[in-house]
Amino acid sequence: MTDSALSFLKRLHPYDVLPDRAFHALWKEVMFRTYPAGAKIYDLGEDMDGLFIVESGQVTVRDENNNLISQLGRENSFGERGLMKGGTAVTSAYAQEDTRLICIPPGAFHKLRADHDAYRRFFDRSRETEKTDALSRFDLTRVQVATLMVPNPVTCAPTTTIQNAAKKMQDKRISCLCVVAQKKLIGILTVRDLSGKALAQGLPPNTPVSDIMTPDPRVLSPSAIGSDVLHMMMEYRLGHLPIVEAGKLVGIVTQTDLTRFQASNTAGFVSEAARAETVDDLATVTKRIPHLLVQLVAAGNRHDVVTRMITDIADVVTRRLLAMAVEKYGPPPARYVWLACGSQGRQEQTGVSDQDNCLILEDDLSETDLAYFEPFAQCVSDGLDACGYVYCPGDMMATNPRWRQPVSVWHDYFQHWIKSPSKEAQMLASVMFDLRPIGGDFSLFDGLQAETLKTASANSIFTAHMATNALTHGTPLGMLKGLATIRSGENRNTVDMKLSGVVPVVDLGRMYALQGELDPVNTRARLQAAIAGRVISESGGRDLLDAYDLVAQTRLEHQARLIKQGKAPDNFLPPTKLSAFERSHLRDAFVVIKTMQSALMQGRGVLG
């Protein structure tokens, strides 16, 4: 048995890349443990005996609330998190059946990590996160607005005279004042307003600032990122951007504040798109997106940063097309909001994106008013297609009358889907829960979104159907150690990193948002909110976040690799293009995703 165990460990990554001397030194220290079915291996808070490797049998790992977070079989290892956090167990482990384990003592484990890079990289999954944190201070794509903004900006009342406002700005050596009434931001006054409106027009000194301020200015929240500030300033030609949280003014960011940081190279794209005169001009901008993706990936940006920035460009392109449609057909006869769903709605666009969108209109419109929006929607969708955001194969677009309706109709849609969760209703609800307003009057959507989440989460039959629907996309795990690939067709011997990789986590994130009535639409933000809201356990959620990051990053790097080769990006990754190290980690990620799918199916994904 010792010889077979020696051969087993020698073939297992990362032990297969250890020098012979290091491996044989390790072998002298390993211990063997056997456990009958149901036996405890260790409990949360206990001192760890070492790193465990399953030679035979099955092991379950549970968090502090006894929620299942991993189900492990032959070749899987566990216990490294406890060893790297002071040697105290952060989970509990039990033998699900008669099990034989190889145990590597703590001293040997830490020595291997210290002496061998491949071994350290295999277990130190936080390395990239730490690197990201270290870089975040210097990159607008990584820094939050809360870090950039000047807190507690100087304010004035709307009745303040322009003379007193100018004196206050001079005394404080600032270029703007936030105009506040009843603790609510109602406007912004800048030096340009004083010179271009007050002085140029010869207004008397006692003119109230309300006469020349910019009312209802555009704002961002403290959780936005630096590139959001830059993009909004570029698109709307702003020099000052108030920061508002829960309706309260908490800070302001100016162009001067951005000079400390290196501007993202997506800013040029946003600026060009916002000023494009024709659809051809917009298409010239979007044709460069694949090259931008390569640059962003090569610069070491994380997948969610890259996709957020690429989606920002799509948002600006959409808003410019909406403006072009208004220029062509005249002012809209009623309020509307244009919404994106799918990857654009989730701010997760990559190098391969079609368009998914819809229109919500205000109620009580005449047939003439409704008719206006038909060519309007067609104009925008045609423009998106010309810019590379091809027509949705499923016709999920505002050009389809079904997805161009008044608020009351949309309300009935959602209520019907929730009360009668057919297959089609589940599919449509899944798409529509990812809606995000892009242009128009956002207030038309606010109440609808909140009401739908509340109604849906309270309907146990609907959530059960949605959970089942969320499990339709399986992970590409083979029976043995390898990855299961597509068996036939033009994509033979590849893994679909979208349908089998990213989509299962997108589905899980959507379910957690539904269960917890969570507002975020972005998948990563949903997972973080689900952890914070205790919809899922912290340990299970963190593992799922790590798994999602690895799968999504691998997919993005595959697309960048194809683009560099002069090929069109796709989602079909040949595992042979990965190293043994990368394949091993990717398989571990799929095991985590499958485990969380199983927990959802068994009702253990939610904390009671």
pLDDT at 565 over 50: yes
207-216, 256-265, 280-289, 331-340: range with lowest mean pLDDT = 256-265
Cα–chain-centroid distance for residue 268? 23
pLDDT of residue 68: 62
**DSSP class of residue 230?**
H
For residues 528 and 519, is the Cβ–Cβ distance under 8 A? no
Backbone angles phi, psi at 365, to 5 degrees: -95, 150
**Residues of each domain in the chain carrying CATH 1.20.120:** 471-601
Domain 145-258 has CATH 3.10.580.10: yes
Across the chain, what does the average pLDDT equal? Answer: 88
Residue-level length of the chain: 608
pTM given for the model: 0.66
Please tell me which residue, 186 or 121, carries the higher pLDDT value: 186
Say which CATH topology domain 279-417+430-448 has: Beta Polymerase; domain 2 (3.30.460)
Please tell me which residue, 430 or 404, carries the higher pLDDT value: 404
For residues 206 and 161, is the Cβ–Cβ distance under 8 A? yes
Strands 248-254 and 240-245: antiparallel
**DSSP class of residue 332?**
-
Q: List the one residue out of 7, 5, 16, 117 whose CA is nearest residue 580.
A: 16
**DSSP class of residue 176?**
E
259 pLDDT band, cuts 50/70/90, is: low
| Calpha distance 443→427 (Å, rounded) | 25
pLDDT in tens, 73-116: 788 888 988 888 888 898 899 998 899 999 999 999 999 988 88
pLDDT in tens, 316-357: 999 999 999 999 999 999 999 999 999 999 999 998 788 999
For residues 357 and 398, is the Cβ–Cβ distance under 8 A? yes
139 pLDDT band, cuts 50/70/90, is: low
pLDDT of residue 602: 78
**DSSP class of residue 523?**
H
What's the average model confidence in pLDDT over 291-315? 86
> What would the two tokens of residue 385 be?
């297609």
CA–CA distance from 490 to each of 232, 346, 486, 494, 531 (Å)?
42, 29, 9, 10, 40
Q: List the one residue out of 23, 58, 6 whose CA is nearest residue 591.
A: 58
Residues 6+ apart with CB under 8 A from 462: 417, 418, 419, 421, 429, 456
For residues 71 and 595, is the Cβ–Cβ distance under 8 A? yes
pLDDT of residue 2: 66
pLDDT of residue 28: 92
Helices (H), 363-485: 367-386, 407-419, 423-432, 443-458, 460-470
Which residue has tokens 């030679």? 55
pLDDT at 33 over 50: yes
For residues 326 and 596, is the Cβ–Cβ distance under 8 A? no
Neighbours of 372 (CB within 10 A): 19
CA–CA distance from 245 to each of 85, 184, 223, 507 (Å)?
36, 11, 9, 29
| Calpha distance 270→230 (Å, rounded) | 9
What's the average model confidence in pLDDT over 210-237? 90
| Calpha distance 254→148 (Å, rounded) | 9
In CATH, what number does 2-124 get?
2.60.120.10
First CA to last CA distance, the chain: 45
Q: List the one residue out of 118, 495, 501 whose CA is nearest residue 303.
A: 501
| Calpha distance 215→221 (Å, rounded) | 18
Q: How many CA atoms lie within 13 A of 586 on its CB side?
A: 29
For residues 92 and 45, is the Cβ–Cβ distance under 8 A? no
| Calpha distance 577→493 (Å, rounded) | 11
CA–CA distance from 230 to each of 140, 178, 262, 267, 317 (Å)?
9, 20, 11, 7, 16
What's the average model confidence in pLDDT over 497-526? 92
210 pLDDT band, cuts 50/70/90, is: very high
What's the average model confidence in pLDDT over 227-236? 88
23-27, 317-321, 347-351, 604-608: range with lowest mean pLDDT = 604-608
Say which CATH topology domain 471-601 has: Four Helix Bundle (Hemerythrin (Met), subunit A) (1.20.120)
> What would the two tokens of residue 186 be?
């109602």
